[in-house]
Structure 1
């Protein structure tokens, strides 16, 4: 079957409509079939079409002058060879359930193609995931690394449910400022410890870190002093911000997690802001990293985060901070 490439589009004659009817290739037109560049190169490689004046190598080379074409073709080929019907748009590709095709089924995935070095812009990502959800599709990132290997990530916006085990009520406590932390005199198994606050220094004393201290001061649980002088929440916030330029985002995410009766603890050993306990499990359930909604992170950084979370059997959330609240974005590796 012959197809014509005019430097912009690739079209077949009327006989090409069989490709659409049988396997969902292309978009039908009055006098034939219009193929996307990825479809045409794939069909040429599979010897399903001929393009006069071009071999597979020469057409592939010419189209690869367009930025991103090579990796989008590699993703298209991988999806096709996994048994999916694939069409371009509305992101990069829409992918139908196995055994279904345009006109005889619905697409199930919306796929965005990235390289391992591409930036992930959280604001745009959230917009695309919301659009996919409104269309009842699953949003997937297809990431192509420098050795042309593919990894697929499912992206979800998670609405947190309250923890199944509510935390105990808290009493008011006095605390003494030590550096940018605080010392509270409470016996072992105090209300603060049972609610997941602080680190035991000795049988009489508990140390509270800056984020949890600010959270407790905001709730009126902790009265902080320096010597005999009281310290306001505003003054302590300014003090803590001097050495932590991520503090505002961490506080916003910490506060939201606490509002759902979760227990956030430092996630430093995992390379993230928090490890989070969602119930009575001995081990934490989530790794959470606070980012501004306008933040941009390299895909390689996100990949390391997801792999770390997977290796310790936790989910990986990024808490995107915005004036309208926190959007928890989950990244998870999947096999299509």
Structure 2
């Protein structure tokens, strides 16, 4: 009678690949080529492969690599002096654990589609790593997103918080489409300044109200916010009087800016939204400049915050903005004022 055989197959134990640490990166012999050929680790060099620090540490931690004279802890200590290395490694490890093949560059990482690797597939994401206290420099961010788009990749921010938790944000440069509903024409009129706002006498359901301007003071009077007044003055639809005399658009802008240093950016972004027949209203209750209606929906579709071209904003502020927008089922856009126009940047939290 033959002995019982196990119903499962016992896989042979694969010995760890031997490698050396040269003070900068880790280099394997020819047996390391299987790591590249099968799983996309490293880059070929000679008969072996050269591993980036994140790759070497990950393989050492998974006991797939043997670097004589070094443990995971001691090799990590060697790299720890490199700026932002630990959070970079944490993102690399997370992406690998999610089943992606990851290589360094051209930002921090490029990430391949699941099941694909260098030589046999294309990368899907370009990833930039930040900590929760890092600033977002919008000029640089837009440049990197444009580069990613030109390479037909998705640009992703990987943010590592102080408890080593990771959050991923997809960044898109949005080109606004025109609204499905067009604003009605507005008859020319005159208004009177009341502080920085303007008051105009119009009947209920006037063309201004139907176009989404102003807030009723009573049945006879409509109040216009500074950005609304500036837009209507610039369009030549409305004139405003102060102390009995008409005030120019430039003089009114200077006057209103005294109490609102963000007015320049807000006014430009507001005008751009109006050019697409969107209806921007104050977004104060949501912590942003505008809530924006894009069509027939009774609820606003977007939250938009206006910023100058060289704006720098902590990623923690962006995180709060995205979470707020998500909680009220809206998209979060930052309207960045450029010399060539307004660039709308969308932040959206994603799960890779």
| 2:109 counterpart of 1:89 | no
Which of residues 186, 192, 197 is equivalent to 2:202? 186
For residues 197-235 of structure 1, the C-alpha deviation after alignment (integer angstroms, 9 at most, x for no partner) is 000111111000111001001111111112431111111
Alpha-carbon deviation of 1:187?
0.9
| 2:277 counterpart of 1:261 | yes
The aligned residue for residue 117 of structure 1 is 133
The aligned residue for residue 248 of structure 1 is 264
Unaligned runs of at least 5 residues, structure 2 = 1-16
| 2:311 counterpart of 1:295 | yes
| 2:142 counterpart of 1:137 | no
| 2:203 counterpart of 1:203 | no
Q: Check conservation: 2:26, 2:50, Cα contact below 8 A.
A: yes
What TM-score results when the alignment is normalised by the length of structure 1? 0.99
| 2:349 counterpart of 1:333 | yes
Alpha-carbon distance in 2 for matches of 1:182, 1:311: 34
For residues 130-175 of structure 1, the C-alpha deviation after alignment (integer angstroms, 9 at most, x for no partner) is 0000000000000000000000000000000000111111111111
Alpha-carbon deviation of 1:8?
1.1
| 1:274-313 alignment, distance < 5 Å | 274-313=290-329
Alpha-carbon deviation of 1:24?
0.4
Unaligned runs of at least 5 residues, structure 1 = none
Alpha-carbon distance in 2 for matches of 1:215, 1:231: 14
The aligned residue for residue 218 of structure 1 is 234
The aligned residue for residue 49 of structure 1 is 65
Match of 2:66, SS state, is coil
Alpha-carbon distance in 1 for matches of 2:35, 2:188: 73
The aligned residue for residue 116 of structure 2 is 100
Q: Check conservation: 2:201, 2:220, Cα contact below 8 A.
A: yes
Alpha-carbon distance in 1 for matches of 2:245, 2:137: 45
For residues 10-29 of structure 1, the C-alpha deviation after alignment (integer angstroms, 9 at most, x for no partner) is 10001100000000000011
Alpha-carbon deviation of 1:194?
0.5
Alpha-carbon distance in 1 for matches of 2:153, 2:141: 15
Q: How many residues align?
A: 336
Q: Check conservation: 2:100, 2:111, Cα contact below 8 A.
A: yes
What TM-score results when the alignment is normalised by the length of structure 2? 0.94
| 2:248 counterpart of 1:232 | yes
The aligned residue for residue 66 of structure 1 is 82
Alpha-carbon deviation of 1:49?
0.6
The aligned residue for residue 77 of structure 1 is 93
RMSD: 0.7
| 2:174 counterpart of 1:151 | no
Match of 1:202, SS state, is coil
Alpha-carbon distance in 2 for matches of 1:46, 1:124: 36
Which of residues 332, 337, 340 is equivalent to 1:316? 332
Alpha-carbon deviation of 1:61?
2.1
Which of residues 16, 25, 43 is equivalent to 1:9? 25
Alpha-carbon distance in 2 for matches of 1:234, 1:297: 29
Alpha-carbon deviation of 1:62?
1.9
Runs of 4+ residues over 6 Å off in structure 1: none
Alpha-carbon distance in 1 for matches of 2:221, 2:92: 60
Q: Which has the larger radius of gyration?
A: 2
